[in-house]
Structure 1
Amino acid sequence: MTTSMPATTAKRLTARGAKTRAKIVAAAADLMYVQGVGRTTLDEVVAASGVSKSQLYHHFAGKDMLVRAVIELTGERVMQRERDALGRVSTMAGLKRWRDALVQNNALRHGAYGCALGSLASDVADHDDVARLALASLFGQWEALLVSALQRLKDNGTLPDDASAEQLATGLMGAVQGGYLLAQTAHDVAPMGTSITMALDHIENLSRKA
């Protein structure tokens, strides 16, 4: 279930209008991921998207509205990736493959820029409650996918009955987000791999008690 932010999508759009809006949001998402929200100007978004400033303002009253649309798009991208990666995981080997894919994907940028959702959260969560709540919902959806995967490990006897899938998922999410941050500052994904591996090692140790 995705979080709706009506302020960014209230207008009924023609096919052409929807295409223009999508170009603006995609360009803004790419710029904000690399440069950060604060350092990305609307003039840069206009130039990168190839639209006019009047077209941008037709779709977005201001930067806050555009940022909220970027969060929506980024959330869709991240959640689709995580649904594909975690949707059928039911073994420790599956969780390790998920870890490897996350780390390898981040290695393509040498750890730069961090998690797409985490970067947005650090930029806007303290200044825009609508954006903060949307991001909180997206992180909740991501964590719910981990809960479901861990619950499948409980259901098939890999994890003991008294293991809390919810608590383990929260710890694993913390390791992922902390790992992204460490990799970003080091421009090296090794700390990210270590962070997630330690969380998975804890889960694997619990599986030996099952």
Structure 2
Amino acid sequence: MTSVPASAVKRLTARGAKTRAKIVAAAADLMYVRGVGTTTLDEVVAASGVSKSQLYHHFTGKSMLVRAVIELTGERVLQRERDALSHVSTMAGLKRWRDALLQNNALRHGAYGCALGSLASDVADHDDVARQTLARLFGEWQDLLEGVLQRLKDGGALSADASVTQLATGLMGAVQGGYLLAQTAHDVAPMNTSITMALAHIESLSPR
């Protein structure tokens, strides 16, 4: 049997990884704008510029592709949130984070909502594996918020008996509810109100 040179395998693996990444990125963009249910595999093939056989080589069906889209979307959202929240330790910093979320969403007039939240609405009731992945990703996002609140508490900006876990849960709820209201109104004003009220409650717990 003729062996395949290691360098050839490496090139094929790299090529395959690049093709897969193109498929997932195209699917993520389509599903964000159109929704999971109305995005077809034929549309993903056309948008990614690959053949249908290449798509099926990497994904056995739409559900497997959706799971990959969730992972990619989660990676994008969490990297954005890590960059924004990792060093925040003041209420002023949290307000700047809110302003950045609003500014980013205003570019689309709030039309498409949260990328992760939209996926959760589309697939959580139909694919338990996808639901568990989304729960983990939302948990990681909430952990970042909890880290900020713990730093506020350590710095004396929150009372000693404030529950950073409960506050982070409430703030995450305000963010996701705000995204949904902005999406239905095509206006970020309700999102601003939702997050601002959550931050006002947190600020009211200052012992000073």
Residue 191 of structure 1 aligns to which amino acid in structure 2? P
Q: Over the residues paired in the alignment, what is the CA RMSD in angstroms?
A: 0.7
Give a deviation string over 1:153-196, Cα, whole Å, max 9, x none: 00011111100000000000000000000000000000000100
Normalising by the residue count of structure 1, what TM-score does the alignment of the two structures yield?
Answer: 0.93
Give the Cα separation in 1 of the matches to 2:160 and 2:85: 21
Cα distance in 2 for residues equivalent to 1:72 and 1:202: 33
Alignment map for 1:146-161 (pairs within 5 Å): 146-161=145-160
Equivalent residue, structure 1, for 2:36:
37
2:91 is the alignment partner of 1:79: no
Separation in structure 2 between the aligned mates of residue 130 and residue 182 of structure 1, nearest angstrom: 27
Q: 2-side partners of 1:186 and 1:114: how far apart? A: 11
- How is 1:22-61 mapped onto 2 (pairs within 5 angstroms)? 22-61=21-60
Code of the residue aligned with 1:176 in structure 2: it is V
Give TM-score scaled by structure 2 length.
0.94
Q: CA deviation at 1:73?
A: 0.2
Correspondence 1:175-194 to 2 at 5 A = 175-194=174-193
Residues 120-151 of structure 1, C-alpha deviation per residue, up to 9 Å, x if partnerless?
00000000000000000000000000000000
Percent identity of paired positions between Structure 1 and Structure 2: 86
- Partner residue, 1:88: 87
Number of the residue aligned with 2:121: 122
Compute the displacement of 1:200 (Å): 0.2
Matched pairs, number = 197
Distance 1:33 1:169 in 2: 26
Amino acid at match of 1:39: T
C-alpha distance in structure 2 between counterparts of 1:195 and 1:147, whole Å: 18
1:139 has 2:138 as partner: yes
**CA radius of gyration, larger in:** 2
Structure 2: gaps (5+ residues): 1-11
The answer to whether 1:66 aligns with 2:68 is no
Cα distance between partner residues in 2 of 1:42 and 1:158 = 50
TM-superposed CA distance for 1:72, in Å, is: 0.3
Show structure 1 runs of 4+ deviating over 4 A. Answer: none
Unaligned 5+ runs, structure 1: 1-12
CA distance in 1 between partners of 2:188 and 2:156 (Å): 32
User: Paired residue for 1:108?
Assistant: 107
